[in-house]
Amino acid sequence: MGKYGNLSEIKDIQSERLSRLFDDVWKRIPPRSKGELLKRLWYVTDHDPPFYVPLSSEDTKHLYARTYCDDDLGAIFLVSENLAELDDDEVRGVIAHELAHAYLDHPCNAHVDEQQREIDADNLAERWGFESYGEMGYIFKMWEEKHANDTPNDTTTAQ
C-alpha cells in the first residue's frame, strides 16, 4: 500500500497551467491504473524538489521533468520553467511519461536498462492514449529544436 490514498494528497503543483494539464492526464488514465499509481507514487511537485535533484546542473537545464525514488516510492518533479515552452499536448505527453515511470516502478528499481525504461514508459503512456516523450529521445530533440536558434553563451574557442 502506498502512503496516501487519493490524488489530492500526492498532487502538489503550484502552477495553474501544470495543475490543469496534470488533471487532464489523470482523467484519461484507466481507473485500475490510477489505483496502482496511487500505491506507487508519493508526490508530484513543481516547486519543491529534494536536494539531490540538481536544478542548476547542465542536465537539469535540458529537463522537463524527472521521476525519482523517494522513500521507496516514486516522486515526480515537473520543471515548470522548462515546461513553459511546450504546448499543452506536449506537456500532457511529458506528464503521462513520468506517471508511466512511476507505474512501472522504475524510480526505485534501477536494475532495468535505462534505455529500456524509457521505451517501456513511452509504450505505457501511449497505451493510456498519450504521445509520450521519453527524455532519452524525443524530449531532447524537442529541446534542441526549440533552442536551435539560440545564441550560444559562454562559448570559448580554443585553438
Binding residues (CB under 5 A) for Zn ion: these are 118, 121, 134-135
In order, the DSSP letters of 122-145 are: HHHHHHTT-----TTTHHHHHHHH
Is the separation of the CB atoms in 138 and 77 below 8 Å? no
How far apart are the C-alpha atoms of 16 and 33, rounded to whole Å?
Answer: 25
Minimum CB–partner distance for residue 156 and Zn ion (Å):
32
Complex with Zn ion: residue 9 or 57, whichever CB lies closer: 57
How far apart are the C-alpha atoms of 155 and 102, rounded to whole Å?
Answer: 38
Complex with Zn ion: residue 1 or 40, whichever CB lies closer: 40
Minimum CB–partner distance for residue 157 and Zn ion (Å):
34
Minimum CB–partner distance for residue 22 and Zn ion (Å):
17
Complex with Zn ion: residue 46 or 98, whichever CB lies closer: 98
Give the residue among 99, 105, 137 at the shortest CA–CA distance from 118.
137
Complex with Zn ion: residue 9 or 61, whichever CB lies closer: 61
Residue with cell 492526464: 25
Minimum CB–partner distance for residue 108 and Zn ion (Å):
14
